Amino acid sequence: MKRNIVLKIILFLAGILILTQGLSPISVSAAIEFAPGVGADADQPVIKELLAAFNEAETAVKKADLDALMKFYATDYNYHGLNRPDVRRVWDEVFVHYRDISSSHVFTELKLVRVDGVRMAHVTCTGWLYGTEKDTGKPITIDSWVREVHYLIKEEGVWRFLGNAGGASDHVPAGSAPHHPLF
């Protein structure tokens, strides 16, 4: 009896997996969440500005609008030696190979600091970048990150992405840009 119940549950779950094959992993705008308690000590206007920056970047990603997306990156953007032109090249490659691109972000920590008089946000984030391969139509996770610290800086009145604190792969040549520095 117990064995039949377990078998039915397994068959049910297998059926769901089969039915969801080929569906896009996420079909909504940027899914941005704050974990409970995150940002409680931050001023709400700053939180709204940060969310607006990520949402504008997501809109640009969905439209494959490289120029609009690059406005999200600070002038001095740097991720393990990769700068704005490198990131522009990576995004260009992503847009060539994938469609229906979207992302999901869960902010688990938010610190607002001043460094040399400049306002910065350190956002600890877990997230995913999804898309559909243009050639095959297969949904794919293009990138994912866990507890990555995104550094943002207030530049010309808006929050821009300055870089990440996270490990770079040892096997990636300096001239190559993995998909990881994107968001």
Q: What is the DSSP string of 120-177?
A: EEEEEEEEEEEEEETTT--EEEEEEEEEEEEEEEEETTEEEEEEEESPPPTTS-TT--
> For 120-124, what is the mean pLDDT?
91
Tens of pLDDT, residue by residue over 106-120, are: 988 888 888 888 889
Residue 131 inside a domain? The answer is: yes
Measured CA to CA, the distance from residue 94 to residue 141 in angstroms comes to 12
Residue 141 lies inside a defined structural domain of this protein: yes
Instruction: Give residue 125's identity as a one-letter amino acid code.
Output: C
The model's pLDDT over 45-77, given as tens digits with 9 standing for 90+, comes to: 888 899 899 999 999 999 999 999 999 999 999
Average pLDDT over residues 13-23: 37
Looking at the domain assignment, is residue 12 inside a domain? no
Cβ-in-10-Å burial (0-12, 13-18, 19+) of 105 comes to buried
What the block records as the tokens of 41 is 């000590």
Per-residue pLDDT tens digits for 71-87: 999 999 988 888 999 99
Mean of all residue pLDDT scores within the chain? 77
Model-wide pTM > 0.85: no
User: What is the rounded average pLDDT of the residues 146-164?
Assistant: 91
Q: Is residue 18 part of a domain?
A: no
- In DSSP terms, 155 is beta-bridged to 158
Question: At residue 25, what is the residue type?
Answer: P
Direct distance between the N- and C-terminal alpha carbons of the chain, in angstroms, rounded to an integer? 50
Instruction: Kindly tell me if the per-residue pLDDT of 25 is higher than 80.
Output: no
Domain count, the chain: 1
Domain membership flag for residue 138: yes
Token pair of 14 as six digits:
């297998």
Question: Could you report the per-residue pLDDT of 28-42, keeping only the tens digit for each?
Answer: 345 666 666 666 566
The three-class DSSP label of residue 181 is coil
Q: How confident is the model at residue 95 (pLDDT cuts 50, 70, 90)?
A: very high
Q: What's the CATH code of the domain at 125? A: 3.10.450.50
Range of the domain at 107: 25-165
pLDDT at 177 > cutoff 90: no
